Amino acid sequence: MAMKNLHELGVVEAAAAIRSGEVTAEALASALLERARTFSRLNAFVTLDADQVMAAARRADQQRQAGQALGSLHGVPIAFKDNINTADMPTTAGTPGLRAHRPRTDAPVVKALKAAGAIPFGKTGMHELAFGISSNNSAFGAIRNPFGDRHIPGGSSGGSGAAVGARLVPASIGSDTGGSVRVPAAFCGVAGFRPTVLRWSQAGIVPISSTRDTAGPLARHAVDLAALDAAVTSDANPVPMKQLSDLRIGVPRSFFWDDLERETASMCEADLDVLKRAGITLIEVDLHEVAALNKAVSFTVALYEVKRDLDAYLRDEGIAPRFAEIVADVASPDVKAGLAPLLNPATAVPVEAYREAIDVHRPKLISLYRACFAENKVDAIVFPTTPLPPPLIGENDSVTLNGRAVPTFATVIRNTDPGSNAGLPGISLPVGLTSAGLPVGLEFDAPAGRDRELLSLAIALEQVLPASPTP
């Protein structure tokens, strides 16, 4: 395989090529490191130690040559978002107060992937403390979109999206609280998977909300997402394959398909036609109540739990500063504006409001989704991942949508946030480029716990949807 093509290998392709001896882990790692140097202007990585990566690759080749048992991901480089604990690299969560943080042990997600033979390929940049969607980080610099370096890559896992989209690494593990895996996937032309909450361990990951947080992978192929999920969860069962003609997918027109940017709307509508022509049954479903229920849950839960959960993480890691000190050192104005009010009891989320969100509104949101899936007998629902393509870097507060100024953060996560609050699994798949060359994504959400079925659906859909575009 020509050296110039190695960066195009997906996770499963790379693992097979290394296992067969067609490619060495050292050659693959070397090619990716060279590409990362070439496209360093994207600022996708916070930490990338070439010597460390090459030493691990050489060990992987030696193990293969010695006839040792090989894991499913043997020799495959995988990047990790910088809020996921790694014992041999710092974990900063993109914030000055954790610049010196070096965890004692790997997060369970990292341990599982290393046990499967994966090679950690650096730490990717992110929106500070994962509290935003632009990855315009004032402490570590803005991360740039590989399809247009004046545009954001999405967030908070922006470095993961940029690295996978630019072919710097076959896959990266990010985290998703309200869209932070799926938004960068959509904006960077790749696939991103948010598992059902608690399917992937939350331990060893700098948190926002234990109710909403989950790690999840970004890759260029759905089969790679399935392979990474299998390695992390030890779910060796093959994904159940379905014929396209057996699939029933719900289309929730109200809310999810409202007020879309013109090209986003036309591209996603065209892809619904593609699905119908492929034999998939599309069914109009009603989720109009989702807007009010999601609003009653979303920020109330996140802004209450972040102080509690971040303090618990800092305590468990043996870090002396607590939430107040971390917030005092926050560099990004938007993150400071969101977190600083939580330090004052007068402006913090009252416990009564939190309990109502958790005990009343969230169960109603979950029931709404459960009834939609059951009553319509649909495998998933489909909608544009984001209402618009990637905004420009610097449009932190507002962005123009259909001639109006709208809030950037709330608009970008409008469609991804409800499923997050309900704990659902979701996958964003690339569906092409706008006339300006910017990626658009289409999301599919499934019932909680139906992760392998959703991965199977995504693999089937890739037969008819556009391939991950090359920047």
What positions carry a catalytic annotation? 81, 156, 180
322: tokens are: 């607590």
Q: What's the CA gap between 385 and 380, in Å, rounded?
A: 14
Burial of 4 by CB count in 10 Å (0-12 exposed, 13-18 middle, 19+ buried)? exposed
The alpha carbon of 86 is separated from its chain's Cα centroid by a whole number of angstroms, namely 18
Name residue 359's amino acid. D
Q: Which of 405, 306, 373, 400 is nearest to 93 (CA)?
A: 306
Q: Could you give the C-alpha distances from 406 to 158, 254, 259, 277, in angstroms and in order?
A: 21, 19, 11, 35
Residues in the chain: 471
Say if CB 218 and CB 457 are below 8 A apart: no
Q: Is the dihedral of CA 291, 423, 134, 319 positive or negative?
A: positive
- DSSP character for 467? P
Q: What kind and span of H or E run contains 380?
A: strand 380-384
Q: What's the CA gap between 233 and 335, in Å, rounded?
A: 32
Q: What's the CA gap between 193 and 203, in Å, rounded?
A: 19
Q: Which of 148, 149, 249, 228 is nearest to 181 (CA)?
A: 228
Q: Could you give the C-alpha distances from 320 to 49, 106, 209, 304, 440, in angstroms and in order?
A: 27, 20, 21, 21, 43
- On the CB side of 100, how many CA atoms lie within 13 Å of its CA? 6
